[in-house]
């Protein structure tokens, strides 16, 4: 196992090298003037584009420019974000916990709910529950996230005055940011609340998380549910299941221990990718529920051509995808002992 | 175990349902806005988003009296100077302000006349490109800036600045080269906010010496020493500011005036209208930014008081005639080859006229503006002195086509073009105008391609000053109620929008100067009348709207007084209270 992990982590270096080459190569398709504009923050500087090109070496050969860029990146100097009015690294450390906290709860809900519904639907095909879950998945998957988020916020917040948008109540936000007694260990309110013995903060943060988590769960779990259902249907028709049934084995053991384990392999593959995608932040959820996280930041950066942010985030997302694939491989081995990691 | 899990989940859900939403705390005022702030340095901030912050953190010598745009009340001055009380000399060239005593800054320092002198001198010496200092410079030195057209510092300008403001005992005296009628309006504006000299110098601001003035002139954007810190005498202090997220005020307990009702005030960045609306409906916001097309929705809500304030403001689509091509994604190839536009695309009057014929005014006024906008034909908008009814370019596809066919000797029509129109994020009226122009121009010829892009306000105000946008839709709220404040701004080659649209016309410049230098009403009227005609004839820019700002407050919030000078980002927090 240790060898496998080490090997994958070494592989990560090569993947990152490839990704960095790709990102840098794409950036090189812009003219030196366009790239120099990323460093212009004043009208005065706009007049000095040739000087900027020279200063940052945009007239140098590809390999020289790549070396300069990668050296800065390796020192975590990712540039300045105009959108966030601070360095990219600082901005990332500010926005990422907001996205992470949402996904910390959304991801398990999506996976567990998807697997649970898919299992039941697959074991009881053409039952009421199966039809219900299929309709549910079609609606969930085809409904645009922004529309579903708007519907939820209008019903729960607009009509019932429950679950407001934001991250934490104003009163508690001011307390958390200004109190010396509250230590922000993780920058995740739900966890820091517990660690500081302030359950009111944890519960308040959950109140703000409820609708965003619900939106993501319903919209995204549909895919997992469909894959799980078809996997279960396939497994249920295999000989070993028929044999087990013929031998009078307990149905629960057949479904949950034998069939579900085998059906889980494709689900885990998709779940790994979904979790990695969630970490990029959901633009619609973050905008409508006013949780300014990575998704909001990246969307704003894209519309405002904040190049340092877009390049840095591509790198970060590559790391997240590689690591999520590694975790998926480890789970494969746990679920299916036939898969040998070594 | 399973039962325990179900019980816990049910209990958790019950708690979530029972716990009320985040109803605003009684002593906290919450505003939800789509405006972002670039800087809170009063010497360089020049937009309505930062204005609201500066009006509450800092104070000035005088302020407008309630809803009036002509009458002033003293703020840090003991009284408003007039000729009758001897505060203004009979020749109108000297203004004497007696400064109040015992007033504290947020850091505990006491206000002195030297702080007032320093604040004005510092602002004028900084004179950031495109910033607000041109107004006071023009009044006190006769020059609309510290640099000439080639961006070189004007000889002797710093000496003039140092001589223009003096301390005389407890008084501060302004010396004007010629009488300047709008001076009092400029002195009430945020750029005339009074800062603490000692604190400012300790924070790397100008040291107060003539010898070093040049070093502090025209500072880089986002490099101002007071970019994110503040120390005024105003009723509120800056508690916390997270750019593009929220701005938190805290009541200044040492405030010299009546103690404000609200202990805290929070301005939250909420770009999505539905979210803002629901926050207002649920009492999580006490006031929200509201565009005209959503007014009916808000008026139908219970517990909301809607104030409608006709504005002395004007929004227009500005055509940039010398676009900066360096690394500019908004002009495509940068050539007239069907895949871009050349930097001087809008220097051809036919292009400008074609774009001017592309706004459907009826739809703009009735469907977009919901009858809450006016459409003046020039920047000298309705309500300003010497206003003249100027026709709008008719919405006419045939005329637009005819103009486009003449542009660049017919090359535009033959080859086509590709470009971007920009507007600030969240402003639905400007977005609608941008879409209207783009759609109607593209409908003329399939070779015409126009994209729309929105940019956050704090970045928008920087980029247009880099000549980055081919067409940018932007507004102007009155700094003081005089045609000069609008026509100079939009048309003079050194005006904020005139300059950054690359528009230069000797006749226009001369008329702008004549308008402000003359004190005789008839001569002023003649100059401004001609300028309004020229705006139309030369198609310098295209009207988008003159807005009636609609401010929806929760009904328990009292004390708001609208003022035509103040746009949708101004609230005097000290006047507000919860009933």
Exposed e or buried b per residue across B326-355, where buried means at least 16 C-beta atoms within 10 angstroms of its C-beta: bbbebbbebebebebbbbbbbbbbbbbbbb
Tokens coding A198: 């302030």
> Which of B9, B19, B21, B462 has the most A C-beta neighbours within 10 Å, making it the best mutation to test the interface with A?
B21
SS3 content of chain A, % helix, strand, coil (to 5): 75, 0, 25
Residue-level pLDDT at A40: 62
* Residue B390 pLDDT class (50, 70, 90 cuts): very high
* Residue B462 pLDDT class (50, 70, 90 cuts): confident
Residue-level pLDDT at A38: 63
* Residue B7 pLDDT class (50, 70, 90 cuts): low
Contact A304 B15 (CB under 8 A): no
Q: Could you give the percent of chain A with pLDDT greater than 70?
A: 95
Contact A34 B243 (CB under 8 A): no
Encode pLDDT of B495-532 as tens digits.
989 999 999 999 999 999 999 887 778 889 999 999 99
Contact A46 B220 (CB under 8 A): no
* Residue B388 pLDDT class (50, 70, 90 cuts): very high
* Residue B5 pLDDT class (50, 70, 90 cuts): low
Q: How many residues does this entry show for chain A?
A: 342
- Average pLDDT of the residues in A75-93: 85
The structure tokens 């975590």 sit at A76
- Chain B positions in Cβ-Cβ contact with residue A82 (cut-off 8 Å): 459
Minimum Cα–Cα distance from A205: chain B residue: B16
Encode pLDDT of A224-236 as tens digits.
999 999 999 999 8
- CB contact residues (below 8 A), chain B span 61-80, against chain A: none
Encode pLDDT of A40-59 as tens digits.
655 556 666 777 788 778 88
In angstroms, the separation between the Cα of residue A72 and the nearest Cα of chain B is 22
| pLDDT above 80 (res A322) | yes
Contact B458 A85 (CB under 8 A): yes
* Residue A314 pLDDT class (50, 70, 90 cuts): confident
Please provide the DSSP assignment of B362-388 as one string: HIIIIIISTT-EE--SSSS-TTSTT--
Q: Could you give the percent of chain B with pLDDT greater than 90?
A: 75
Tokens coding B148: 């000439």
- Chain A positions in Cβ-Cβ contact with residue B6 (cut-off 8 Å): none
> Which of A27, A28, A32, A42 has the most B C-beta neighbours within 10 Å, making it the best mutation to test the interface with B?
A42
ipTM, interface predicted TM-score of the complex: 0.80
In angstroms, the separation between the Cα of residue B106 and the nearest Cα of chain A is 18
CA distances from A194 to A175, B13, B17, B21 (A): 15, 18, 21, 21
* Interface A:B, Cβ pairs < 8 A: 140
Smallest Cβ–Cβ distance between A83 and the set B244, B324, B453 belongs to: B244
- Chain B positions in Cβ-Cβ contact with residue A154 (cut-off 8 Å): 274, 278
Nearest CA to B65 among B52, B75, B54, B57?
A: B75
Please provide the DSSP assignment of B538-579 as one string: TT-EEEEEEEEEEEEEETTEE-----TT--TT---GGG-EE-
- Average pLDDT of the residues in A301-318: 84
Q: Does pTM top 0.90 for this prediction?
A: no
Encode pLDDT of A268-307 as tens digits.
889 988 888 888 778 899 999 999 999 999 988 887 778 8
Q: Is B269 on the interface with A (CB under 8 A)?
A: yes
- Average pLDDT of the residues in B531-550: 95
Residue-level pLDDT at B19: 56
Q: Could you give the percent of chain B with pLDDT greater than 70?
A: 95
Encode pLDDT of B48-106 as tens digits.
889 999 999 999 999 999 888 878 999 999 999 999 999 999 998 999 999 999 999 99
Contact A84 B275 (CB under 8 A): no
| pLDDT above 80 (res B1) | no
Cβ count within 10 A of residue B311: 26
Residue-level pLDDT at B9: 66
Contact A154 B269 (CB under 8 A): no
| pLDDT above 90 (res B480) | no
- Chain B positions in Cβ-Cβ contact with residue A30 (cut-off 8 Å): 327
- Chain B positions in Cβ-Cβ contact with residue A169 (cut-off 8 Å): 22
Q: What gap in Å lies between CA A173 and CA A181, rounded to an integer? A: 14
CA distances from B481 to A8, A17, B261, B383 (A): 69, 60, 31, 9
- Chain A positions in Cβ-Cβ contact with residue B331 (cut-off 8 Å): none
User: HSE-up of A52 (CA within 13 Å, CB side)?
Assistant: 20
Contact B455 A30 (CB under 8 A): no
Residue-level pLDDT at B3: 64
- Phi first, then psi, for residue B62 (nearest 5°) are -135, 165
Q: How many residues does this entry show for chain B?
A: 579
Contact A36 B270 (CB under 8 A): no
């Amino acid at each position: 196992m240790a060898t496998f992990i080490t090997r994958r982590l070494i592989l990560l270096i090569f993947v990152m090298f490839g990704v960095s080459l790709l990102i840098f190569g794409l950036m090189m398709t812009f003219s030196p003037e366009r790239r120099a504009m990323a460093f212009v923050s004043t009208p005065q500087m706009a007049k000095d584009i040739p000087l900027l090109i020279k200063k940052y070496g945009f007239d140098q050969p590809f390999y020289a420019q790549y070396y300069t860029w990668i050296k800065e990146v390796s020192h975590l100097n990712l540039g300045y974000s105009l959108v966030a009015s601070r360095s990219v690294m600082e901005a990332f450390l500010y926005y990422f916990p907001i996205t992470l906290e949402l996904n910390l709860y959304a991801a398990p809900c999506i996976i567990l709910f998807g697997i649970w519904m898919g299992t039941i639907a697959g074991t009881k095909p053409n039952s009421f529950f199966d039809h219900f879950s299929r309709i549910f998945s079609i609606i969930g998957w085809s409904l645009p996230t922004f529309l579903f988020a708007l519907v939820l916020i209008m019903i729960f917040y607009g009509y019932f005055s429950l679950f407001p948008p934001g991250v934490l109540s104003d009163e508690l936000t001011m307390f958390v940011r200004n109190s010396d007694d509250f230590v922000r260990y993780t920058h995740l309110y739900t966890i820091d609340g517990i660690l500081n013995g302030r359950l009111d903060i944890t519960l308040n943060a959950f109140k703000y998380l409820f609708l965003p988590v619900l939106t993501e769960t319903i919209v995204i779990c549909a895919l997992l549910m469909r894959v799980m259902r078809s996997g279960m249907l396939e497994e249920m028709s295999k000989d070993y299941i028929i044999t087990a049934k013929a031998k009078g084995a307990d149905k629960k053991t057949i479904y949950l221990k034998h069939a579900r384990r085998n059906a889980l392999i494709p689900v885990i593959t998709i779940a790994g990718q979904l979790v990695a995608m969630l970490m990029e932040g959901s633009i619609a959820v973050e905008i409508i529920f006013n949780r300014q996280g990575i998704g909001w930041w990246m969307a704003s950066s894209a519309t405002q051509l904040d190049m340092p942010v877009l390049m840095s985030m591509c790198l970060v997302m590559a790391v997240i995808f590689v690591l999520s694939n590694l975790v998926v491989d480890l789970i494969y081995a746990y679920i299916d002992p036939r898969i040998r990691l070594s | 175990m399973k039962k325990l899990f179900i019980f816990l989940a049910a209990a958790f859900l019950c708690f979530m349902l029972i716990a009320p939403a985040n109803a605003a705390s009684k002593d906290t005022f919450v505003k939800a806005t789509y405006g972002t702030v670039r800087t809170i340095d009063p010497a360089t901030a020049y937009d309505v988003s930062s204005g609201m912050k500066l009006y509450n953190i800092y104070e000035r010598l005088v302020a407008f009296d309630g809803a009036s745009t002509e009458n002033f009340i003293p703020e840090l001055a003991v009284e408003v100077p007039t000729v009758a009380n001897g505060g203004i000399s009979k020749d109108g060239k000297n203004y004497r302000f007696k400064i109040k005593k015992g007033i504290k800054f947020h850091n505990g320092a006491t206000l002195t006349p030297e702080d007032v002198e320093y604040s004005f001198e510092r602002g004028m010496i900084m004179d950031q490109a495109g910033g607000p200092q041109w107004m006071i410079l023009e009044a006190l030195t006769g020059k609309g800036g510290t640099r000439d057209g080639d961006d070189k510092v004007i000889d002797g300008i710093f000496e003039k600045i140092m001589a223009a403001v003096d301390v005389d005992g407890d008084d501060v005296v302004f010396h004007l080269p010629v009488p300047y009628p709008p001076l009092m309006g400029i002195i009430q504006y945020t750029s005339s906010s009074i800062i603490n000299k000692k604190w400012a110098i300790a924070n790397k601001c100008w040291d107060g010496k003539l010898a070093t003035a040049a070093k502090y002139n025209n500072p880089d954007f986002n490099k101002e020493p007071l970019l994110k810190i503040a120390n005024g005498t105003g009723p509120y202090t800056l508690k916390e500011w997270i750019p593009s997220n929220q701005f938190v005020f805290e009541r200044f307990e040492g405030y010299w005036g009546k103690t404000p009702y609200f202990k805290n005030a929070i301005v939250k960045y909420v770009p999505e209208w539905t979210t803002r609306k629901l926050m207002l409906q649920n009492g999580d916001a006490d006031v929200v930014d509201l565009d005209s097309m959503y007014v009916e929705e808000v008026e139908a809500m219970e517990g909301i008081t809607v104030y409608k304030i006709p504005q002395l403001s004007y929004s227009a689509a500005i055509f940039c005639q010398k676009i900066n091509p360096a690394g500019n994604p908004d002009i495509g190839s940068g050539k007239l080859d069907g895949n871009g536009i050349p930097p001087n695309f809008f220097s051809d009057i036919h292009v400008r006229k074609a774009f001017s014929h592309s706004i459907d005014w009826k739809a703009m006024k009735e469907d977009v503006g919901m009858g809450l906008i006016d459409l003046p034909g020039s920047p000298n908008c309705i309500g300003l002195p010497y206003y003249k009814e100027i026709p709008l370019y008719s919405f006419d596809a045939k005329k637009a086509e005819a103009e486009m066919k003449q542009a660049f000797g017919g090359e535009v029509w033959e080859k086509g073009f590709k470009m971007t129109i920009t507007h600030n994020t969240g402003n639905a009226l400007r977005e609608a105008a941008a879409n209207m122009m783009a759609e109607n121009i593209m409908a003329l010829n399939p070779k015409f391609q126009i994209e729309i892009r929105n940019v956050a306000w704090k970045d928008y105000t920087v980029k247009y000053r880099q000549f980055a946008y081919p067409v940018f839709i932007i507004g102007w709220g009155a700094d003081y109620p005089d045609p000069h404040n609008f026509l100079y701004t939009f048309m003079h080659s050194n005006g904020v929008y005139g300059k950054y649209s690359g528009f230069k016309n000797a006749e226009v410049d001369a008329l702008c100067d004549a308008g402000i230098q003359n004190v005789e009403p008839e001569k002023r009227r003649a100059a401004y009348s001609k300028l309004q005609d020229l705006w139309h004839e030369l198609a310098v820019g295209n009207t988008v709207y003159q807005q009636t700002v609609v401010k929806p407050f929760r009904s328990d919030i009292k004390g708001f007084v609208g003022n035509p000078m103040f746009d949708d980002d101004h609230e005097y927090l000290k006047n507000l209270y919860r009933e």
